[in-house]
Chain A
């Protein structure tokens, strides 16, 4: 009789990386669905194309690099979907493909693949697209003009950040405003957030603190009243970014206190860029900058059982 031998432990929590990615994918569906409903068929095409090209880029790269093909772990699919949700429904097809390929090959694979990228791939790709084709990225069309009675121009209007005060808080919350496909409906994003919390995929810390930080910073630095600060939170990609992108495991700090520092600073940077920068929106750069700071934050000392705080050398 032959028995297998191994070192302990002999069992595992059933939760796997693949399952985690599937949960994130499911959590993104409500906001994706709203995006397709609000912006129409072209939004669906953008999402499908970004997912397909992200998975294809990962597959092709791993084949070329003679690496084990890990497309089955769903991470490329999630990256593709997040990137798609970050784009306007009017994004041309070639831009979507370039974005996906950049995210997967340049940001993720060239730095070592899953787990080793120092920036959130979808977000880095968005930043590149924004710098390269700002007109395509900020044009925010809508095919369903009934939602946007308050808007100046039903077909092509500035985002709420470009024209503050154009939309009511309710419109901003429900997603009756222009913007990137996935960022408009805060209600749908909160639904996804709730799902991620209940399944234990993420903790409340990063999203809640980031949002609070934006709120407080807008009040303190921008001098906004509570309504203005709330509008700032509900405008643009704050909610989408803090729930789905700032919480990316790979590029956010691991320790609870590290996450607090990270989230507070993201909120601060977003607000500073919005108030004083030349861009109307700062979510992308706020998160990317803190992604870069993450390895540093993870080095903060922790309390270890039985280890006295190391006495300072005189």
Chain B
């Protein structure tokens, strides 16, 4: 198999199938919980505004939060039943956020749907509005509103849609199962987008540790003009947007730019399947596949409703097998820790990985010995050890000169570091600080400009 890849990178858990063993061969099963807590902040950008109140009855797919402007998507009820609360709940990293809690009546009644019909006959102009109306955000983890990604600034052109089926994160097999079980849906979603944007080329990239998925997707793509499958080398972070583009098209996203600046749009396989649901069936995004693994009795791939509580999900997988130390939304390399198991699944939650006490223990930093493993790992070509020196001194100017803003926070350097230095956390801090500073500066200048007038 001819595989493509990017420069450098790492091979975490390579000897144990990237930690995917426990779940890769398990067929997805559906799990529907008693109550769901649906946050209004499902996407990057403006959160939705709730439009139901306590006591209301809702059907599946009913809009419960309205989109607030272009950088926002509506939120839909993922179960039918009664709204029992509209209140503030803790959200991941953003303080409290409004959420709608629905008690499931298990009637599974849907609102009236407005499908656009078969992909080959669909009106291209209606696809992107339908994607926004269905509340679709990037399902690979970033939660970027998909319709925004597909709406280009004037003058920008796109010649290739890259579909991300790399799933380079350890432990996760949700995308893999999706590719096996819903390969035609993914291809349909891709074709809908190609039709909407009038793009002739769609390439699905899959790591070569998933030969069955490559086979299934090839079959689904057969006879579909312009759609092809590209096997990729199994290497982390192969599924990073920039690395994927480099591997598949040989192009590089310019520093500080977006994929569209090199005429590419990247969509996750999950996003493509959701687009197919929205276009062909008119169904909004109300559920997703989520890999539940680690210290749980029955590691599984669950088809869960958006808003399902983590505790219920763990319960559906036989409960914790050990005292949990950390619970991570996403994979081990880039996942986000949740503070307690009352957090609800978001549209972007592709996995729930439970770590035991020992795995969760934080490691102490020891001095950098300049071994260069971070440099050999960095897929961008940065010198992480030098940036860390600047970051430790809060020398943001130097960090910027060392291109910290080009860091994709993949965690490869921190994974490799024998001194367990907190490289990636430092770089995240640097990036956040520099971004905030730039924003404050722009705001101050705008205010000054206003005063001068």
Contacts and interface: CB of A to CB of B under 8 A. Distances in A.
Interface string A94-107: 00000000000000
Classify the interface of chain A: helix, strand, loop or mixed.
loop
Which 3 residue pairs across A and B have the least CB separation, nearest first? A9-B411, A254-B372, A5-B337
Contact of A17 (B252, B403, B419): B419
Interface in B124-162: none
A67 B8 CA distance: 37
9 contacts: A3-B338, A8-B333, A8-B424, A10-B333, A10-B360, A11-B13, A298-B383, A304-B382, A305-B7
Contacts, number: 156
Contacts of A306: 242, 252-257, 380, 406
Contacts of B353: 10
B375 interface: yes
A4 B325 contact: yes
A116 B392 CA distance: 15
Given A4-B325, A17-B366, A115-B367, A11 B255 contact: no
A138 B399 CA distance: 48
Interface string A7-35: 11111110111011000000000000000
A114 B321 CA distance: 41
Interface of B: 7, 10, 12-13, 170, 242, 246, 252-257, 324-328, 330, 332-341, 353, 355, 359-363, 366-373, 375, 379-383, 385-386, 403, 406, 409, 411, 414-420, 422, 424-425, 428
Contacts of A249: 369-372
Contacts of B326: 3-6, 10
Contacts of B359: 10-11
Given A8-B333, A20-B371, A255-B372, A307 B255 contact: yes
Interface residues on chain A, size class: 35 or more
Contacts of B253: 305-306
A302 B325 CA distance: 40
Q: From DSSP, what is the main secondary structure of chain B's interface residues? A: loop
Contacts of B334: 8-9
Nearest to A202: B371
A81 to B, nearest CB: 17
Nearest to B354: A3
B158 to A, nearest CB: 18
Interface string A270-307: 00000000000000000000000000001000111111
Nearest to B360: A4
A302 B383 contact: yes
Nearest to B420: A12
A262 to B, nearest CB: 12
Given A3-B325, A10-B355, A16 B418 contact: yes
A251 B371 CA distance: 10
Interface in A80-124: 113-116
A2 B252 CA distance: 43
A3 B341 contact: yes
B337 A6 contact: yes
Interface of A: 1-13, 15-17, 19-20, 70, 73, 75, 113-116, 249-252, 254-255, 298, 302-308
Given A70-B366, A115-B370, A303-B381, A9 B255 contact: no
A254 B384 CA distance: 11
A5 B326 CA distance: 7
Contact of B170 (A6, A11, A20, A250): A11
A13 B418 contact: yes
B340 A13 contact: no
B367 A116 contact: yes
A144 B224 CA distance: 80
A167 B170 CA distance: 57
A223 to B, nearest CB: 37
Given A7-B424, A113-B367, A114-B369, A307 B406 contact: yes
A61 to B, nearest CB: 15
A305 B418 contact: no
Contacts of B257: 306
B370 A250 contact: yes
Contacts of A9: 332-334, 411, 414-415, 424
Contact of A3 (B246, B337, B379, B425): B337
A249 B254 CA distance: 33
Contact of B362 (A6, A8, A250): A6
Contacts of A254: 370, 372, 375, 383, 385
